[in-house]
Amino acid sequence: MQPVLAFDVYGTLIDTLGVTIELERRLSDASKAGEFAKRWREKQLEYSFRHSLMGAYVPFAECTREALVFTDRALQTGLSDNDRDHLMAVYAELPAFPDVVPALDRLRDAGIRCVAFSNGTEEAVNQLLTRAEVKSHMDAVVSVDAIKRFKPAPAVYAYLRTRLETRPEATWLVSSNPFDVIGATHAGLRSAWIRRHSDAPFDPWGIEPDMTVPELETLADRMMR
């Protein structure tokens, strides 16, 4: 049975730190750009977890904006409303990692279905992947927005299988985010962790991915053996 690969989007296909260059232009202290980008991303995920646990779902873009406001306050960077609107627009046009398209093309040429699976709304993810020139290399986009829950809730992985009409053992979650990998594995899916940074730690929960690779072309090599 051929596997179906469901790729996380933010941080796996799309480089969320790609906003750093624009932050360097917008912040009065450009040296804070790297820390700002990192904290913005961390808070974005934290807010998605909190909204999901509270049963107070909002679209992922709202989590992103809330995290932007918090980070601005925490680092005292003094962004204007125009700055924030501009940075949100930049976040909607982030670049893909360079290994994404070559790996997807190889996998699809081998007959392996590749879908995007994201916390973002379907509209937002379609636009993001289109601008990053990735959308045409995917078979579909699946968004958690349909069930108003965020990863890593078990319901989102069950919804993924329902949409794809696949069995757990043939459904792979591919992500650079350990929480996503652990959530999918806990829900009975197969999982691949994309360890894009050699010093990135994995959560010590006693749940390990089925595969760990440094980038997507290595994933394609392993899947096509």
Residue 211 has φ and ψ, to the nearest 5°, of -150, 140
* 48 contact partners, CB below 8 Å, separation of at least 6: 60, 63, 119, 150, 151
Place of tokens 């794809």: 164
Q: Element (H or E) spanning 191, and its range? A: strand 190-194
**Measured distance CA(102)–CA(188) in Å, rounded:** 29
Q: What is the Cα–Cα distance from 29 to 6, expressed in whole angstroms?
A: 39
Question: In sequence order, which ranges of the chain are alpha helices (DSSP H)?
Answer: 20-26, 33-54, 60-75, 81-91, 100-109, 122-131, 154-164, 178-186, 216-223
8 is catalytic: yes
Please identify which of the residues 8, 15, 83, 145 carries the catalytic annotation.
8
Tokens 């965020």 belong to 150
Active site residues: 8
